[in-house]
Chain A
């Protein structure tokens, strides 16, 4: 069971009676024009979701997708076509379309050789089958009960359970022939509370590249229900957030979305090859305070952002992006790495066979420092303590980024005091980490909820960080 390439072959090629020789043939056809490299990406996925609302299992959905994407690259040019029919004639047709990017020229021959990933970071299971339908439904009901049990002010509970089973296979003109079986589960609880005519919401969830047992272990799912209610009740008491530039302490874990937006996107290889990123040409420069070390690590077992191999067949790596404040490296896929004269860092990712691979993050986090989190808060006279966030966004060219706090408190005279309403924080990517003056010893990764969007493609990612003190960050409240 552990041979993922075998599973991928049985799932993707066998039903269409495709052999590896057929793939060689498609590849040869692709390489008959002036094409430097080419790849085929086969995918079959199953997605199942269940939603509980108003105390009943209201909806369920099952999705079946499959297809193959064909990419041909000539210099900086890329041709791409895909088909949802995995069969030789469709493959050859897609190949003819994709290779039209370059015309006439050299003749290429390739022989695919199986490359075995060095390690598997998750079991090649089908997570949809790791629990019976009855058990999934029982779990959702328990979450509803658990949330309502917390407080009579809970008015609405929406709980969802999603599992995806993704089998992929990559064949590339550099000889790569790799497969991966990627389980992914996700659970979320969203609540609305009401008191004295005021309503607020709270949301919590998690996920992993595992089976549904993940949510039973350590009572994780029940904890999501309790946490969603806790957040909503905190927000019921929240006052207007401050407006202006101030000292901000970010909690550990999910607030690491800071790194994803401020640093991560700007260090993706495509933007730096093209010189469109505010970080372009700055390798070796100081872009963060001493003590700040940031990595992108696709090798963490079982995590939502992890990949045994990326979508180009490259084993994922732990890439040090910033080391002790100095910019060290960009994240690369094969295409951009080749054009920049370096190697792929295993960050070539795509949403599906119908999308082109791009350099994307996996799990991006900052390594821990020396300070006790309590000591960090105590060091701040007046400021903001932000512990939970919604989404974020970055303009990689100007470097300006935002991320929106959904749970935050005032710090007054070194103490966390009153909760404040949600507010967006804005800063400049190349500058914000130079404002880090204290790094906590409490590194935590997020619960497995992140989804990153780029050029219309969504992929699962992770973030993390220790508690951080940032001396100057602009907080977008209403209280000027």
Chain B
């Protein structure tokens, strides 16, 4: 059987399991139910100092069921696919629902919102690479970094990951949908040493298709270059300064935006963007959108985790917040409609500006280019932001020296309002696509 045929057969098996789960729930008296089943397998290999270090064969599977007894809800999940374990799991969910309270907002998403078309989004491209070939690839990748400069003194190695899986979701509205997907990556992390101080940096490439991956030598070389650039890092004094979040770490700010306009934060009043719908939160040149149906996209999906059909939407238009991101529960709590964002976003992007990173540095003049963030110091209720950082000090648009052991602080609401420019150096290795982001002013704490 071809791999495609095997997947089709396997998908039919998982769909049957969803049917069985829903049937079992109904037999146990549930008024409605929803179930998800997934199955993944893969290979993770790490190579270090020119030899294989670990080979991990992964095989993960899981199923989850949520049952509703009118407005009472219970959930259970398991990795055990034996028929009796599946029955036990449904029973466990029903048992939970005996004790939860009636919640007028709970239940399946509305039936008329279920996805009716399930286009092939071109997400499944298995990579039939042997462990031997993967090891060779890793060795090539790591060698490119080690050969770069004799200041590259040590290595964490190169990693090759290839995973393929299936995900099926169904509910008692009669909706059932599933699709296979794949994800492959190659990464490298090396250590440099100068004047007795070590620095580490890394680079990686990821894609649905193995052919989308960057060349192994290029990945290794980029990891090495990044490590070398950090050697000689020092602290700077405490100051107010403009900052650029380089595109590879800038997605974190958009993730903070997503968190703040997500239904669960809003109905809990746990967001600094409460009551901001229709209001400007960015300068008027900023456009942010979600495009869930991009063929081959890392975040693509035709339905959300409740079966609701996904659709293209403008989230920020000319700086104004046009929509919250809601699943059916938070939508009902807020008296609104689901935006097909149960379970998160699918391919978020901020429209690139006209400058590349060099142009953005020129626009900033003097300031800080941030290339690494540390810690989780973000208070989503107030927007207060204070995180560890490393990067480069920039003068007259030119990088001067690497910087470490500093924090950057501000408030996300102000940072969003002070987003002066977006680079066209788009980071494409993520569900969130963004160029580098220039923020007018933040507080740097250092010496």
Contacts and interface: CB of A to CB of B under 8 A. Distances in A.
Interface of A: 50, 53, 56-67, 76-85, 94, 97-98, 100-101, 133-134, 136-137, 155-156, 158, 192, 194, 198-201, 241, 243-245, 274-276, 278, 354, 356, 390-393, 395, 397-398, 400-404, 421-428, 474-480
A424 B61 contact: no
Contact of B269 (A63, A199, A475): A199
Given A480-B238, A480-B239, A397 B191 contact: yes
A393 B384 contact: no
A97 B42 CA distance: 13
A133 B100 CA distance: 10
A67 B61 CA distance: 11
What are the nearest 6 A-B pairs in CB distance?
A476-B407, A402-B388, A60-B96, A402-B375, A56-B101, A424-B377
B277 interface: no
A97 B44 CA distance: 13
B199 A398 contact: yes
Interface string B248-274: 000000000000000000001110001
Interface string B380-417: 01101011101000000000000011111111000000
Given A60-B100, A426-B407, 15 more contacts: A50-B99, A58-B103, A59-B75, A62-B77, A62-B92, A64-B80, A64-B85, A81-B56, A134-B99, A393-B374, A398-B404, A404-B376, A426-B388, A476-B386, A478-B386
A474 B387 CA distance: 12
Interface stretch (B13-21, B206-214, B439-447): B439-447
A26 B364 CA distance: 63
Interface string B425-446: 0000000000000000001111
Contacts of B200: 276, 395, 397-398
Contacts of B405: 400, 426-428, 474
Contact of B55 (A80, A243, A404): A80
Q: Which of A57, A401, A424 has the most CB of B within 10 A?
A: A424
Interface of B: 48, 51-61, 73-82, 85, 88-89, 92-93, 95-103, 106, 131, 154, 156, 191, 197-200, 233, 235, 238-240, 268-270, 274, 374-377, 379, 381-382, 384, 386-388, 390, 404-411, 443-447
Contacts of A83: 59
Contacts of A85: 82
Given A200-B381, A424-B386, A60 B75 contact: yes
B54 A426 contact: no
A476 B379 CA distance: 14
Contacts of B73: 58-60
The majority secondary structure among interface residues of chain A is: strand
A398 B445 contact: no
A137 B80 CA distance: 28
A244 B445 contact: yes
18 contacts: A57-B101, A77-B51, A94-B57, A134-B99, A156-B269, A158-B268, A192-B269, A200-B381, A243-B407, A276-B198, A403-B375, A421-B379, A422-B377, A423-B377, A427-B405, A474-B445, A477-B443, A480-B445
A64 B191 CA distance: 41
A67 B79 contact: yes
